[in-house]
Amino acid sequence: MRSLLVPYHHPDPLPALARAYAADDAIVVAKGAPGAMLAHLYRTAAERVAARDEPLVVLSGDCTTSLATVAGLQRRGIAPGVIWFDAHGDFHTARTTRSGYLGGMALAMLTGRGGAALTGAIGLAPVDDTRCVLAGARDVEPGEREALAASAVRQVAVETLGDADLPQSPWYVHLDLDVVDPGEMPPLRFPAPGGPSLEAVAQALRALAARGTIAALGVACTLTPAAFDLPDALAPVRALVDAAA
């Protein structure tokens, strides 16, 4: 799979990610006011995704880059189903979040819940709940728990994903690295114990690749900034990308 690097954590540059992962292509934008800069960064990423006509992996430091990747696929005429691997729900809105952390709202925004200024700026059409599956979530907060229960987003265990009822492919597969048990990962921003092994996640990705078409794989490299400089910090990422290819 060709790779595109968006080396940012929200609007903050994450040069350590670019040092740690050799990608085919990378996006860098001029610094600006956070909101305008994020919209510009994601518009640029969506254009780059739309210009491809082959499966690709998009690596970034957060989960919100998914909005750009899916918008780019849509511009190519693809209405992807979404398989979202994450330890967290990412289903907060501005109304329910306590931390205000943007990445905790990524799947909610992707399905049309909040963030209209950003999703409108990048031309994202909301993905219908029935086309979304959340895999491996185990640290879901009050507020997003109720919103998920009231939604048509399905939740599955990583270990049973291969046999689960899934939306029709092509898929956008989203992989927040924190879905893997933190015992097998470099230090994570928001570690959630009790997760599936690296091999179980790789196995689920292989099962997906065997069952349908992965139009794009989004890897949210949600390590602490310092963790990127550990020796071979992104070896797990390479293993997971290989499993999906």
Whichever of 45 and 50 has its CB closer to Mn ion, that residue is: 45
Burial class from Cβ neighbours inside 10 Å (0-12, 13-18, 19+) for residue 232 reads: exposed
Give whichever of 24 and 184 is closer to Mn ion, judged by the CB atom.
Answer: 184
Q: How far is the CB of 40 from Mn ion (least distance, A)?
A: 22
Q: How far is the CB of 50 from Mn ion (least distance, A)?
A: 24
Count of alpha carbons within 13 Å of 240, Cβ hemisphere only?
Answer: 28
- Stretch binding Mn ion (CB under 5 A), from 8-16, 172-180, 197-205, 224-232: 172-180
In the numeric block, which tokens belong to residue 184? 């097998």
Which residues in 18-37 contact Mn ion (CB under 5 A)?
Answer: none
Contacts for 21 with CB less than 8 Å, ≥ 6 apart: 3, 5, 59, 221, 234, 237
Distance CA 222, CA 200 (A): 19
Site residues for Mn ion, 65-124, by CB under 5 A, read 86, 90
> Which of 71, 92, 148, 176 is in the footprint of Mn ion by CB under 5 A?
176
The residue behind tokens 């879901």 is 140
Q: Which is nearer to Mn ion, 50 or 151 (CB)?
A: 151
Residue 220: CB minimum distance to Mn ion, A:
6
> Hey, which residues between 54 and 73 contact Mn ion (CB under 5 A)?
63
Residue 144 engages Mn ion in binding (rule: CB under 5 A): no
Specify the residue, 66 or 74, whose C-beta has the smaller distance to Mn ion. 66
**Taking the complex as a whole, how short is the minimal distance between the CB of residue 63 and Mn ion, in angstroms?**
4
Backbone angles phi and psi of 191, in degrees to 5: -65, 140
Q: Which of residues 199-238 bind Mn ion (CB under 5 A)?
A: none
Q: How far is the CB of 81 from Mn ion (least distance, A)?
A: 18
Q: How far is residue 214's CA from residue 64's CA, in Å, rounded to a whole number?
A: 19
**Separation between Cα atoms, residue 135 and residue 143, nearest integer Å:** 19
Closest CB to Mn ion among residues 50, 172: 172
- For 242, other C-beta atoms within 10 Å of its C-beta total 12
- Minimum CB distance to Mn ion smaller for 50 or for 144: 144
Question: Mapping DSSP to helix (H, G, I), strand (E, B) and coil, where does residue 98 land?
Answer: coil
HSE, CB side, 13 Å, CA atoms: give it for residue 71. Answer: 25
Nearer to Mn ion, 50 or 83 (CB): 83
Segment near Mn ion (CB under 5 A), from 2-10, 66-74, 141-149, 169-177?
169-177
User: What is the rounded distance in angstroms from the CA atom of residue 173 to the CA atom of residue 85?
Assistant: 8
Binding residues for Mn ion, how many (CB under 5 A)? 4
Longest dimension (CA), the chain: 46
Under the rule (CB under 5 A), what is the footprint of Mn ion?
63, 86, 90, 176
